[in-house]
Amino acid sequence: MNPEENQRWIELRHWRQFLAVAEELHFGRAAARLHMTQPPLTQAIAGLEQTLGASLFDRTRRRVALTPAGAALLPEVRELLARARALPPLARGAARGELGRIRLAFVSTAGFELLPRWVRAWREQAPGVHLELIEATSDVQAELLERGEIDAGLMLLASGSPSPGLAHWRVAVEPLVLALPEQHALAQGSRWTLAQVLAEPLVIFPRRIASSLHDAVFALYHAGGRAPQVAQEAIQMQTIVNLVSAGLGLAWVPQSVERFQRAGVVYRPAPGRGARRVPACETRLVWSTERVSPVLARFLDFVGASAERAQSDAC
């Protein structure tokens, strides 16, 4: 076996022995530091030199000095041993969910209020965990979860609808409100009915990206004896609001979208008694029970506690 092949089998204790001699430059003191006698240490260093195919120390009766090869190895060995010492706490931290990475997907509406609050609190609580944020619609999140490419997702669904095949927590519930062009007649007056709203052109997201919420909106129109006049579809809520500002139609959006202030757009709650018929929407944290790592379990505990505090504050 040549020296290059031998290097892979050098144990950490041999590097510790080298470091002790290199720092003490005295075999007797190095042996005492290592709690061993000098002859075995001398033999161990000789064996290490033979394995490496290079002399590490110049030895005389009066002094011990590093050779160029030994001097070159010294900083590398210090770093190697420091990294080795860091491995046990790293493993313990990962097992406790204190270290690692969480890949969290989110719908755009979560980015208005919920997500920024969570990110700040999570960074304070778990500085050793990197939170990787991925904006994606609910349908894309379902695919990413199935492939194991994300750990959890924040989805938007109609209130009360199921989350097939996924564990979930409801983290926010909010009503749908109207986004109207600022100059629209319904935006100017206070006396108007839901029937008037249902007669207007609609800007909405495609069914594939949030089918339960899309169906709930359409059910509202059908219950009012109307077929929705879909003027335009758009994936992102910000885009929907921009299209409303252009006068393409009205839109039902989660109340949190009101934080997106777009010139030419106003937000209004559903009018009068008709408000009872307007569906609510939920933001849910979803994940696969088959892939719950320690760090994800800790994040789920964090989310659960955050949701409980939010509900307590709302009461």
Residue 70: which CATH number?
1.10.10.10
Over residues 71-82, the mean pLDDT reads: 95
pLDDT band at 84 (very low <50, low <70, confident <90, very high): very high
Model confidence pLDDT, tens digit, residues 55-65: 999 988 889 99
User: How far apart are alpha carbons 182 and 204 in whole angstroms?
Assistant: 18
Please give the pLDDT value at position 1: 45
Is residue 23 located within the same domain as residue 50?
Answer: yes
How far does CA 299 lie from the centroid of its chain?
9
Domain, as residue range, for 150:
100-171+282-314
Write the CATH number for 120: 3.40.190.10
Of the residues 95, 110, 135, the one at which a domain ends: 95
pLDDT above 90 for 193: no
Token code pair at residue 114: 């919920």
Of the residues 53, 73, 95, the one at which a domain ends: 95
Task: Kindly give the residue spans of alpha helices, DSSP state H, lying in 68-190.
Answer: 68-95, 114-125, 138-147, 185-188
End-to-end CA distance of the chain: 74
Is residue 307 located within the same domain as residue 184?
Answer: no
Is residue 241 located within the same domain as residue 183?
Answer: yes
pLDDT above 90 for 205: yes
pLDDT above 60 for 19: yes
pLDDT above 90 for 179: yes
Structurally, how many domains does the chain consist of?
A: 3
Instruction: Pick 111 or 209 by higher pLDDT.
Output: 209
pTM: 0.74
Is residue 13 located within the same domain as residue 137?
Answer: no
Is residue 10 located within the same domain as residue 61?
Answer: yes
Is residue 270 located within the same domain as residue 286?
Answer: no
Please give the pLDDT value at position 311: 56
Scanning the structure block, which residue is given the tokens 């920024």?
Answer: 116
Is residue 7 located within the same domain as residue 84?
Answer: yes
Over residues 21-28, the mean pLDDT reads: 94
Is residue 7 located within the same domain as residue 134?
Answer: no
Query: Which residues neighbour 26 within 8 Å (Cβ) at sequence distance 6 or greater?
Result: 64
Model confidence pLDDT, tens digit, residues 85-142: 988 888 887 888 888 899 999 998 888 888 888 898 999 888 999 999 999 999 999 9
Is residue 23 located within the same domain as residue 167?
Answer: no
Is residue 259 located within the same domain as residue 308?
Answer: no
- What φ, ψ does residue 98 adopt, rounded to 5°? -95, -15
Of the residues 95, 112, 127, the one at which a domain ends: 95
